[in-house]
Amino acid sequence: MTRPLDPATREALVERMRFYRDLGLTDFYRRPVDAALTTDADAPDPASEPLASSHHPAEVGAPGLASETWDSSPQPSFLAEEPAISARKGFSPPPQIAAAVPAAGRAAALQLIRDDIGDCTRCALHQGRNKLVFADGDPNARLMFVGEGPGADEDAQGLPFVGRAGQLLNNMIAAMGLRREQVFIANVVKCRPPGNRTPEPEEANTCLPFLFRQIDVVRPEVLVALGATAATYLLGARQPLAGLRGRVHSVRGARLIVTYHPAYLLRDPRQKKEAWADLQIAMRELGLEPSSRA
Ligand code: SF4
């Protein structure tokens, strides 16, 4: 028999999963539980009990890249709300980099991409969409930010990064000495995933060619990936965020810097200092001087 988690524990677990997801950690293992340690006389044999219903957060193994044993049991219910914690899947090979578009023609070229997307039903995310979120900013920007996907505010307005996380991103851009209108902002997926979950690989891979086309048109000198999902799909490889930060990568002719997603920074403001260090790398690559501290 399964025991439901109390709401507070369940919420704590979900938050913890989000925290790990934002760090790019998606693989978890479960330690065997010593039955003698449980105080619940009715508790079933842990070897036969589903994880979600019977284990305190402390019993869930730390996320690991090298784990001792891998849990192949069905996904527990609290993780079902976070499909980001799903099995690894392959990445579609990126398309060839398109020919450069003259600066004067970039707005029209972006409009062509938007027209191609149309009233898109290519992946399941269209079902819950209110407004498709294409992009925002200067088609000739030197700096481009790439996020994961629209949230509720973005879905309502049809623009990327317009909620609380968007306000923080605006502040980050201002700290770099730029205005939002001077950069270009887009997401891996153009439609809001239900419940703000991470896009499934099939959804992200379906939408990704549009992002690559946007990058090819804008031709930013520097790309900033906001969070693990953006970094994963831009680089075509799943790696922990910690291993990607602090370095300059190369994607479609642009230099790529990886940092935390603003939504993660809202949940853990202590990491803003780290994000600022990442943005300073981007500024160095662009030859910019900071106007103020983040
Ligand atoms: Fe189409 Fe992308 Fe929206 Fe999926 S997320 S429906 S591929 S625009």
Residue found by looking up tokens 């004067």 in the block: 104
- Residues with Cβ within 8 Å of residue 177, at least 6 apart in sequence: 283, 288, 289, 290, 291
Residue found by looking up tokens 């938050």 in the block: 15
Which numbered atom of ligand 1 lies nearest the CA of 120?
A: 1
pLDDT of residue 155: 98
Task: Say whether 186 sits in a helix, a strand or coil.
Answer: strand
pLDDT of residue 165: 97
Give the Å distance between the CA of 149 and the centre of ligand 1.
10
Query: Rounded to 5 degrees, what angle do the CA atoms 156, 193, 135 make?
Result: 55
Task: Say whether 83 sits in a helix, a strand or coil.
Answer: coil
Domain 103-286 has CATH 3.40.470.10: yes
Which numbered atom of ligand 1 lies nearest the CA of 149?
A: 5
Which numbered atom of ligand 1 lies nearest the CA of 203?
A: 4
Is residue 117 within 6 Å of ligand 1 at its C-beta?
yes
pLDDT of residue 294: 44
Task: Say whether 240 sits in a helix, a strand or coil.
Answer: coil
What does the alpha-carbon distance between residue 106 and residue 152 come to, in Å, rounded to a whole number? 29
Is residue 191 within 6 Å of ligand 1 at its C-beta?
yes
Count of Cβ atoms closer than 10 Å to residue 2 Cβ: 12
Ligand 1 atom 7 nearest Cα: 207
Is residue 120 within 6 Å of ligand 1 at its C-beta?
yes
pTM of the model: 0.73
What does the alpha-carbon distance between residue 200 and residue 183 come to, in Å, rounded to a whole number? 27
> What is the largest distance, in Å, between two alpha-carbon atoms of the chain?
73
Which numbered atom of ligand 1 lies nearest the CA of 189?
A: 5
Which residue ranges in the chain fall short of pLDDT 50?
37-88, 292-294
pLDDT of residue 59: 32
pLDDT of residue 78: 32
Instruction: Give me the residue spans of the domains in the chain.
Output: 7-80, 103-286
Percent of the chain whose predicted confidence (pLDDT) is above 90: 65
Is residue 241 within 6 Å of ligand 1 at its C-beta?
no
Ligand 1 atom 4 nearest Cα: 123
